[in-house]
Amino acid sequence: MDPVRGSAVRAVGETASFVEPEHVAAPFLLAVSDTCAASLDVSPDVVRAHPSLLTGNDLIEGADVFATNYGGHQFGNWADQLGDGRAISIAEFVSNEGVRSEWQLKGAGMTPYSRFADGRAVLRSSVREFVASEVMASLGVPTTRALWIAGTGEEVMRDRFYDGNAAPESGAIVCRVSPSWIRFGHFELPAARGKTALVKELADFCMARDFPGVTSYADWFREICERTAVMIAHWQRVGFVHGVMNTDNMSVLGLTIDYGPYGFLDGFDPSWTPNTTDAGRRRYRFGQQPAIGFWNLQRLAMAISTLFEDTQPLQDGLIHYEKTFVSLDAQMQLAKLGLTDEADLPLVNELQSLMQSQELDFTKTYNALLNGYDLAQCSYRLEPDKEALSLFVSKYQRRDRNEGLMRANNPVWVPHNWMLQELIDETQKCYDAGTECRALNDAIEAAAEPERFPEQVAKWSDLRPAWSLSERGCTDLSCSS
């Protein structure tokens, strides 16, 4: 633990620093996730009853609150110390079932790791993180969760499009929840500084706390590799593009963390990324996520290599990543078509080529195949090749498919950036009125139980509307948050 308390920005040699959230002007609740609360055995009304806890104006009595220190490779380059620049852990919570979780306030103010920034978060990025965390959870994707989103009653200056035009935006805070917030970058930083004893201490701590039953470093690394493979296979299944797969944004538990300029595929396009900051090289494009997962695991392997006498277990772990990903990805992509036989993989490839050439919407296409409507309705092209589409359908129809498997593997809708932008606008109205925003709860419930929201879901499961193409923030996003 850092011997210095407080938020003075500095290089820190230890793994975490005690620092308290900065007070905000007027904390109020925008939404609490009922499903996240239920998973923790917490009543949403308990959250409602304590507005001053929502933003860290008040703290749970006796809680040691802190921000942690990590480094990371950003867009392929070593970035040195990063750390929780605006996330402060406020509680360690153990549910009645004995499940541990750590609660963090994101946007809670300056910490020693804030570098050149303000420690705050704006409403738009907080809505995006809140909704995505909860929707991803109900789609069965491994993810950190979001318990509540609160307004601060304060404004934050942001240059939203990185074009030199900073403007005030509403400030907000998300309380996010995870069994662990340890990232690859937590090991990379002490390793880069030659602090091998600290790497070992942290590895032992992480293994004991977050990997019950795992007793060797080799098994620990293997498990991290496996969990990363599982997470990315799920991303590819639902068409999720993280957007900023830097090693500081990779959780050792294989949970999706740090929802920033993420997006979901519209038309199937492996080269797509929603992140304008990455538009040049497209390092984190959809089709490259599995390879980046491998690259990131290699960075972790290097960081923890001092724990091993020879590198074989690390190489084995990386091979295990590849094998796990390849087999799960095949299984899931087949399952999206209701199939289980690997002999049908050429059909998956054929559909992917067709989706790409005919600009078919990734989510809508599988629902069309499931429900028997016309694939031409799934195309963003004015005149899709109808012959090619029906040729595929007739081939596919000869397969014996499992519809339950299809339902379990295909989202009815996914939170596209244009929908989120509408939700952000809706939330802004509640923010201005100082009230809870039911639209946020409806959105996350509509992912878990689409049949309860027929009108909304009909709109959200359809093709991207034309207006959203020209609206900024609806297809492309910067890292500004």
* Residue (258 or 278) nearer to Mg ion, CB: 258
Across 331-357, b (16+ Cβ under 10 Å) vs e yields bbbbbbbbbeeeebeebbebbbebbee
Sign, CA torsion 383/467/133/303:
positive
Q: List the single partner that 114 binds among ligand AMP, Mg ion, none, CB under 5 to 8 Å by kind.
A: ligand AMP
Minimal distance, residue 207 CB to ligand AMP, in Å: 24
- Residue with the two structure tokens 């009543």: 43
* Residue (83 or 317) nearer to ligand AMP, CB: 83
- In sequence order, the 6+-apart residues with CB closer than 8 A to the CB of 248 are 70, 71, 72, 73, 74, 79, 82, 183, 184, 185
* Residue (118 or 316) nearer to ligand AMP, CB: 118
- Cβ-closest position to Mg ion: 258
* Residue (142 or 171) nearer to ligand AMP, CB: 171
Integer-rounded Cα Rg, in Å, for the chain is: 22
Q: List the single partner that 124 binds among ligand AMP, Mg ion, none, CB under 5 to 8 Å by kind.
A: none
Q: Is 20 near Mg ion (CB under 5 A)? A: no
DSSP class of 112: T
Q: List the single partner that 133 binds among Mg ion, ligand AMP, none, CB under 5 to 8 Å by kind.
A: none
CA distance 74 to 97: 38
CA distance 444 to 133: 9
One character per residue 34-73, x = contact with ligand AMP (rule: CB under 6 A): ----------------------------------------
- In sequence order, the 6+-apart residues with CB closer than 8 A to the CB of 309 are none
- What letter represents residue 321's amino acid? Y
* Residue (136 or 446) nearer to ligand AMP, CB: 136
Chain positions 219 to 248 lying near ligand AMP, rule: CB under 6 A, are 244, 248
Q: Which stretch binds ligand AMP (CB under 6 A): 82-90, 171-179, 331-339, 360-368?
A: 82-90
Give the torsion through C-alpha atoms of 34, 20, 182, 300, to 10 deg: 140
* Residue (55 or 249) nearer to Mg ion, CB: 249
Active site residue 204: no
The three-point CA angle 247-252-282 to 5° equals 30
- Cβ-closest position to ligand AMP: 85
Taking CB under 6 A as the criterion, the residue among 112, 119, 267, 290 binding ligand AMP is 119
- In sequence order, the 6+-apart residues with CB closer than 8 A to the CB of 445 are 34, 452, 453
- 268 contacts 362 by C-beta, under 8 angstroms: yes
CA distance 320 to 28: 46
Taking CB under 5 A as the criterion, the residue among 74, 111, 249, 251 binding Mg ion is 249
Q: List the single partner that 179 binds among ligand AMP, Mg ion, none, CB under 5 to 8 Å by kind.
A: none
Which member of 210, 248, 266, 329 is catalytic? Answer: 248
Q: Is 258 near Mg ion (CB under 5 A)? A: yes
Q: Provide φ and ψ at 152, rounded to 5°.
A: -100, -15
Taking CB under 6 A as the criterion, the residue among 12, 19, 82, 265 binding ligand AMP is 82
Minimal distance, residue 257 CB to ligand AMP, in Å: 9
Residues known to be catalytic: 248
Interaction site with Mg ion (CB under 5 A): 249, 258
Interaction site with ligand AMP (CB under 6 A): 82-86, 113-114, 117-120, 244, 248-249, 258, 260, 479
